[in-house]
Structure 1
């Protein structure tokens, strides 16, 4: 059970969110835009800052000096809540641009939860308000990607351009050796990688998404507003590492704010915590940062790590104040080589079913001879991601990348 460390305000929240937190928003981008304009008082909408004791954490660190890569749909660099926070990045979808535009809003929401600076009655304040955001656009205008290779390229670019933490609020059902190799590249260069576990969808697999289940990645599932309950739409399982608030959150979007929910929005709260830790101890290794996050988590459910909550609720204050030993290796990385299966439709899901599960649009942009089989994420203000599958030359590249990963990991032993 949880330690009784929370403020009286936490008990009040549990009493009042039963009605407000009960609704589920499932929408296409157009529908989401129509409902997202509703705004409640900022402190009520940003309950996660109270739950995670942000004001206490900020006595020790605000994330200054740390760059967090948001590999997503782009980030609206002109949003008032992110003014001065968004560095020039890259747009791997359009092939030009610096990633500081967002046709969907998803990446802007993720960035705001990490590094939003607006603390007035209508703005978004992030958990690491002094961190910088490096936007890497890999999701198209329908908030999807058809080939995991684009995400792999994004990870490598982010590492080469100064990211100390990488947030991946996306994923799918099939493994990707190319993406595994890119993540291993990040690990080798001392970068913390955080990903969401995924959201449940009709007729879709319930396994923790990839890349969240890649060894070494901090896989984040979502909690209801009460925070002791797993969000009903969250995927969880043995790969789950940490939990974070996922419902009733205020998110930044181009042109304003909206209410969101989903594991996509739990993950950036963990990325922000990693940024706080890396800011306080700039010389601390990524492996020790990960160890600090999991060692100081507020245990939920069964004692110790479990398949529902992982190690428990991320605890920024404990992560910044508790004495934890340094480690030489990421405790989550068991050095297993990445899987090479998963090329083809997800078991029991046809192309048509996969498209239907993701809403009223079809899967497109596929390489010749391939089908779509990665899970969608239809819950939240606007969360729709498809990962694609490999064909032709992409398969050869992926397999070569996998071989390189295995070799590097053997050398690291």
Structure 2
């Protein structure tokens, strides 16, 4: 199996996992999963919607006018949740079908978590009026693929996404670094794209650093559970920028998409939710750049210890878009300075402005703080993922303007 420039990889595709732990392999998705009929209402399993105060946020922003590129296994636009949500993309998998053919269900689940409508009890996306552009890349084990072509053309898919109208690029996959992949990420950053990638599900399997999350231009995303802990499978290290719910969630069981399954987990899903959160914020502030959107997400991220130091488990903390949307918190800072590298990157604010800012209602709804994350030296210790709090003082990391500099020199 190879990555981009032909280097061998020790990873299979970064998949969501079932139960406490599973690693990489697509077959792991089938272990211990309980199928639900697609017509059954799975939204009660989306336990994070309440704590994140999604209904209140949607009165302010639904993500309308924002497009998210999903570089993944393909996205099926015919599901109840995605009808009318998927724009034409491009196929780089060199397999039968095109970018709308998803042989695993992974890319479709990721897309639904970002922008699903929730129609008929299907998965409710965090940004239900955002649009999805799929870029399918090849994975090992899919029928019709040449053996050893894992991640083939992922770099080309990222470049295509960078050249598209999408403002956000979600990359729920990972593996070792490659020169072509790194160059594609740099290209997308120069185009002003906001990039999120799963940190990986290998905390107990060597915890190897995952790319593209490991590149300095990409925000790596860790996963957390509703039991007040960082997910035990969630990879950790300096690639982690933010955290989001990523455990005990619904998703498609397989490529047939006959049923949703329960209790899926993985940083793939957490990355999707962060992309959805970014879409909500950007739709409300259409003149901001990617740097400003991400800076506000970092500024308002939750950690109950209140520390500014980057945590290797949860980065700056749990993503909390409601603090900006409902309470106006977060300093966008310099539009041209990256909060990840502290260097100038991307086009000017004017050229990066999303094309549409429709669908937003005025008014700010005051709401109490509900979501906090605490770091711990051990992932098995209580991490305070959803501990209730009386105020926000302990949960918000205050980073004034662009005055923080966490330089991630990780390009290999």
Would the TM-score normalized by the shorter structure come out above 0.5? yes
Q: Structure 1 217/153 Cα, relative in aligned 2: closer, same or farther at 3 Å?
A: same
User: Number of residue pairs matched?
Assistant: 312
Alignment of 1:108 with 2:113, yes or no, is no
Displacement of 1:77 = 1.1
**Distance in 2 between the 1:159 and 1:34 partners?**
38
Q: Structure 1 154/36 Cα, relative in aligned 2: closer, same or farther at 3 Å?
A: farther
Q: Find runs of 4+ consecutive structure 1 residues off by over 3 angstroms.
A: 21-31, 33-36, 38-41, 95-98, 143-149
- Contact kept, 8 Å, 2:42 with 2:122, in 1: the verdict is yes
Residue 287 of structure 1, aligned match among 273, 291, 294: 291
- Contact kept, 8 Å, 1:104 with 1:141, in 2: the verdict is no
- Contact kept, 8 Å, 1:168 with 1:194, in 2: the verdict is yes
Displacement of 1:165 = 0.3
Deviations 1:293-349 (Å, cap 9, x if unpaired)? 11110114572231111100000101333141422211102569xxxxxxxxxxxxx
- Contact kept, 8 Å, 1:124 with 1:252, in 2: the verdict is no
**Distance in 2 between the 1:70 and 1:50 partners?**
25
**Distance in 2 between the 1:267 and 1:44 partners?**
20
**TM-score (norm: length of structure 2):** 0.70
Q: 2:58 maps to which residue? A: 58
Q: 1:13 maps to which residue? A: none
Greater CA drift, 38-47 or 83-92:
38-47
Displacement of 1:273 = 0.8
Q: 2:88 maps to which residue? A: 88
- Contact kept, 8 Å, 1:104 with 1:142, in 2: the verdict is no
Q: 2:221 maps to which residue? A: 220
Write the mapping of 1:165-204 to structure 2, written as runs, cut at 5 A. 165-172=168-175, 174-200=176-202, 204=205
Displacement of 1:95 = 6.2
Alignment of 1:131 with 2:127, yes or no, is no
More helix by share: 1
Q: 1:267 maps to which residue? A: 271
**Distance in 1 between the 2:33 and 2:114 partners?**
23
**Distance in 1 between the 2:103 and 2:182 partners?**
28
**Distance in 1 between the 2:171 and 2:101 partners?**
18
Q: Structure 1 306/300 Cα, relative in aligned 2: closer, same or farther at 3 Å?
A: farther
Alignment of 1:250 with 2:247, yes or no, is no
- Contact kept, 8 Å, 2:199 with 2:222, in 1: the verdict is yes
Q: 1:309 maps to which residue? A: 314
Alignment of 1:117 with 2:122, yes or no, is no
**Distance in 1 between the 2:304 and 2:152 partners?**
36
Deviations 1:221-258 (Å, cap 9, x if unpaired)? 000223x3110111011221001111111124623322
Write the mapping of 1:341-356 to structure 2, written as runs, cut at 5 A. none
Displacement of 1:205 = 3.4
**Distance in 2 between the 1:329 and 1:30 partners?**
40
Deviations 1:121-151 (Å, cap 9, x if unpaired)? x411000010111011113363698465611
Q: 2:233 maps to which residue? A: 233
Unaligned runs of 5+ in 1: 1-20, 337-413
Q: 2:139 maps to which residue? A: 140
**TM-score (norm: length of structure 1):** 0.69
